[in-house]
Amino acid sequence: SKTNFDATTSSRRELIDSVLSSAAALSALSPLILNSNPASADVTNKIASSASLRLIKRSLREIQDLEIAASSNDYEGIKTGLRTPPFTEIRKNCMVLIRGGEDGPDAEALKSTYADFIKAAEELDSSAGLALRGRKGISLIGPYDNTVKGLVAFL
């Protein structure tokens, strides 16, 4: 029984030593792994940019289809439209394009137009939400137009 206890203790000790040495090696390499060179463009984002651009264009078509809902103040239709794919992934796809163009000449303009678009989309969503909760006199066509113009400017 004592021999069995020593063998179990020894294997646990070896396991713990192995885990600790692996963790030490990983922590020694982590600065090399985690620090990326900001001057080099992220190739992954450049490759993903074409797919993201395609999805953003599809999102534009989807939001343009919401024009009737916005002009008739269909608050529920707008809320639902903003929460269905591909529009639900638009932030992620826009960020892929922004990261892919970080080293380009228009990087700051792209970030600015993205911020304007998101502000307009959030205003549209907020207006529809307020109207659904009972606030009177809210028109969706203005925020809707700003959202479409913002997305077109981003593209």
Please give the helix or strand (H or E) that residue 104 lies within, else none.
Answer: none
- Residue-level pLDDT at 45: 54
Model confidence at 39, pLDDT cuts 50, 70, 90, reads very low
- Residue-level pLDDT at 26: 59
Share of the chain above pLDDT 70, in %: 74
Q: Kindly report, residue by residue over 69-92, the tens digit of the pLDDT.
A: 888 988 899 899 888 888 888 888
Task: Say how far residue 145 (Cα) sits from the centre of its chain.
Answer: 23
Q: Kindly report, residue by residue over 130-142, the tens digit of the pLDDT.
A: 988 888 888 889 9
Measured CA to CA, the distance from residue 54 to residue 47 in angstroms comes to 12
Whether the model clears a pTM of 0.85, i.e. scores above it, the answer is: no
CB 121 within 8 A of CB 144: no
Task: State the CATH architecture for 43-154.
Answer: Up-down Bundle (1.20)
Single-letter amino acid, residue 40: S
The whole-chain average pLDDT of the chain stands at: 78
CB 130 within 8 A of CB 140: no
Angle between helices 90-100 and 43-64 (to 10 degrees): 140
Domain locations in the chain as residue ranges: 1-35, 43-154
Q: What is the largest distance, in Å, between two alpha-carbon atoms of the chain? A: 83
CB 56 within 8 A of CB 94: yes
Phi, psi (5° rounding) for residue 83?
A: -110, 20
SS3 133: coil
